[in-house]
């Protein structure tokens, strides 16, 4: 339920903001929402028809899920608006669905009580190139992440250890996001 302070904030926004800037911001936000829906639709259509994992990097799918979860915690920590956090949470659910399609899921008797294995279609050349790419990318990623951590300790303010770890991980994800583009 909205309070008086919310209405005051709306009044302030309309009175103190340039109307052209406000209009452009609203149009860009609307277009961003439309493009995000189209991206979700096309992603679902692609993965729904995908039977073979040939040419798909399963390790990148795992990395994408991990990065998405870290960014979701960051969005929750910073109390980001629902317009940003809801589609991001939807993308996490889509990442889980993609992993289910790309991997075999089986239950185990010990912790973590499940096991993900590569499907048979993820063998041969694709898997070998994926292994090589991740090996070389990790040679660059880990030292650079260590340098970024040292930078974060010296030059950024953090509220707590949790905030420090989360902000450093998110900074690393944003800076080194090119890793997602490896085969």
Q: What is the pLDDT of residues 23-45, one digit of tens each?
A: 898 899 899 989 999 999 999 99
What digits encode the pLDDT tens for the residues 94-128?
999 988 888 877 788 888 777 777 776 666 777 78
pLDDT digits 0-9 by tens, 41-76: 999 999 888 877 777 777 778 888 998 999 999 999
pLDDT beyond 80 at 153: yes
Distances (CA, A) of 131 to 57, 66, 124: 9, 18, 11
Question: 21 pLDDT exceeds 60?
Answer: yes
Greater model confidence, 162 or 119: 162
Burial class of residue 128 (count of CB atoms within 10 Å of its CB; 0-12, 13-18, 19+): exposed
pLDDT at 2: 62
CA dihedral 102, 108, 110, 115 (to 10 degrees): -10
């Amino acid at each position: 339920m909205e309070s008086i302070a919310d209405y005051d904030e709306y009044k302030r926004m309309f009175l103190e903001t340039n109307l052209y800037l406000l209009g452009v911001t609203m149009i860009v936000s609307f277009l961003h929402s439309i493009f995000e829906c189209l991206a979700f639709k096309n992603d679902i259509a692609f993965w729904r028809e995908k039977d073979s994992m040939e040419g798909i990097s399963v390790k990148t799918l795992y990395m994408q899920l991990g990065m998405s979860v870290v960014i979701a915690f960051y969005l929750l920590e910073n109390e980001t608006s629902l317009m940003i956090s809801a589609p991001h949470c939807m993308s996490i659910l889509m990442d889980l669905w993609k992993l289910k399609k790309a991997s075999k899921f089986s239950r185990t008797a010990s912790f973590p009580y499940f096991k993900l294995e590569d499907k048979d279609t993820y063998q041969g050349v694709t898997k070998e190139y994926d292994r090589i790419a991740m090996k070389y990318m990790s040679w660059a990623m880990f030292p650079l992440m260590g340098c970024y951590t040292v930078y974060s300790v010296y030059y950024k303010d953090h509220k707590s250890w949790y905030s420090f770890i989360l902000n450093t991980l998110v900074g690393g994800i944003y800076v080194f996001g090119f890793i997602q583009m490896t085969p």
